[in-house]
């Protein structure tokens, strides 16, 4: 099923993100995770591109195929372009088509200073255009409630997002955030700009201190006082911090659902325990 079809009933959609195991790990580890996640009945599961951003070398396509064929759950494969030529993208699109994958999350990808970028694609919007011209896929895009770290203002970011949607992105997933007011402000600006596709709120439950430090440095999400106090109070008690992080994410999600958000995209970090606790807490609200 194509992802936009999941939003036609007007109910809040719950979806998950997972990532492929490291090359040194057995792929069976992710299948064990999927056994548990599938019991939670997500509307779809997206699979990241793995370390290095090269979908062709990762197990993204294989895992996305298993999600659909074994678990009968819609899947989406992440695809980045910063280190890809058009020929590289053609190969990956062929693999996805062969496996029956209908949904792609088109991303520029992070620039690695140790890897010279290719120059066929400069922006994710160019990848969206290329995919729509060279395959029959539903294409999702990323959006940034607090603005992309490389843009000068949220207004500029909204303009770039509109270009991406006009290029063919028919569904958006947001970067993580910890203050819902940022998402609501972004959503209002996006709708005013004429962006009318479903927009899912990306929620990451923070369950350890290293995780939050890494994520904030990567995406630039701001930390509200309430969140910071929680981290400080429980930073030396791992179990309490995990439970507090789950509770914080649930509070965010309840507020978002109450305000009519299109969907919740849960960054599971391949942790079925956390995903289950959150899913079971909000199941009656969906």
Residues annotated as catalytic (active site), given as ranges: 17
Buried b / exposed e along 148-159 (16+ C-beta atoms within 10 A) = beeeeebeebbe
Q: How many CB atoms lie within 10 A of CB 91?
A: 14
C-alpha span between 199 and 176 (Å, rounded): 13
The answer to whether the beta carbons of residues 265 and 201 sit under 8 Å apart is yes
C-alpha span between 269 and 31 (Å, rounded): 14
C-alpha span between 198 and 171 (Å, rounded): 5
Q: How many CB atoms lie within 10 A of CB 23?
A: 12
The answer to whether the beta carbons of residues 66 and 31 sit under 8 Å apart is yes
Indicate if the alpha-carbon torsion angle 82, 83, 89, 94 is positive or negative.
negative
């Amino acid at each position: 099923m194509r992802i936009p079809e999941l939003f036609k009933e007007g109910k809040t959609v719950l979806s998950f993100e997972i990532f492929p195991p490291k090359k040194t790990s057995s792929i069976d580890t992710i299948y064990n995770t999927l056994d548990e996640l599938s019991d939670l009945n997500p509307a779809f599961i997206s699979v990241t591109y793995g370390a290095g951003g090269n979908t062709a070398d990762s197990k993204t396509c294989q895992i996305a195929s298993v999600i659909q064929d074994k678990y009968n759950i819609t899947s989406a494969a992440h695809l980045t372009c910063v280190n890809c030529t058009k020929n590289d993208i053609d190969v990956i699109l062929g693999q996805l088509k062969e496996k029956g994958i209908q949904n792609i999350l088109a991303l520029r990808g992070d620039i690695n200073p140790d890897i010279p970028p290719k120059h066929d694609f400069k922006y994710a919007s160019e990848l969206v255009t290329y995919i729509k011209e060279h395959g029959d896929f539903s294409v999702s895009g990323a959006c940034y409630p607090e603005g992309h770290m490389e843009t000068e203002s949220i207004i500029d970011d909204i303009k770039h997002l509109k270009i991406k949607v006009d290029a063919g992105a028919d569904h958006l997933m947001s970067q993580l955030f910890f203050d819902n007011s940022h998402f609501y402000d972004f959503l209002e600006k996006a709708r005013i700009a004429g962006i009318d596709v479903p927009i899912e709120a990306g929620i990451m439950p923070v369950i350890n201190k290293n995780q939050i430090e890494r994520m904030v440095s990567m995406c630039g999400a701001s930390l509200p006082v309430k969140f910071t106090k929680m981290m400080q109070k429980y930073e030396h008690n791992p179990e309490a911090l995990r439970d507090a992080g789950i509770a914080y994410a649930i509070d965010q999600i309840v507020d978002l659902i109450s305000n009519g958000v299109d969907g919740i995209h849960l960054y599971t970090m391949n942790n079925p325990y956390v995903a289950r606790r959150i899913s079971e807490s909000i199941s009656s609200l969906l």
